[in-house]
Amino acid sequence: MNRFTAKITKIQSVQNLNIVNFDFCAQKLSMMSLDLNEKIKVGCKVILTAKPTHIAIAKEFSGDISYSNQLDAKITEINNGELLSSVKLSMGDATCESVITKASSARMNLKVGDRVTLFIKASELSIKEIIEC
């Protein structure tokens, strides 16, 4: 599971639906959530999580896409299995992993050192822990 330390910058709520915005490594993240814990407030520092299989990668991306979370990253390691590839990425001091098919990794010609855009749907990001408020 990927872990991101971020600060809550904004919370929008309508009934029990919430959109929470975060500052993560000077980049913006958004999370969609139902029934948000009442302890979660603007200014809180939290740990966010996302599964490696829920992180998509684009190389030389341009255009519009519905993914709320688009982060600039650098590939630091690629491990190819028979069917899947584990791609390690860095964003400043933070790191994460994306698991994609080996065929996608080959088709994109991914290499260590490549600059890529990683995508996480707002519904696939969650708050694991409140560090401080």
Full residue range of the structural domain in which residue 31 is found: 2-132
Predicted local distance difference test score (pLDDT) of residue 133: 87
- How many structural domains does the chain have? 1
* pLDDT per position as a tens digit, 9-62: 999 999 989 999 999 988 999 999 998 888 999 999 999 999 999 999 999 998
* CATH number of the domain to which 62 belongs: 2.40.50.100
Query: pLDDT tens digits for 81-121?
Result: 999 999 999 998 899 999 999 999 999 999 999 999 999 99
pTM as predicted: 0.90
pLDDT in tens, 49-72: 999 999 999 999 988 999 999 999
pLDDT score of 77: 97
DSSP collapsed to 3 states, the chain: CEEEEEEEEEEEEECCEEEEEEEECCEEEEEEEECCCCCCCCCCEEEEEECHHHEEEEECCCCCCCCCEEEEEEEEEEEECCCEEEEEEEECCEEEEEEEEHHHHHHCCCCCCCEEEEEECHHHCEEEEEEEC
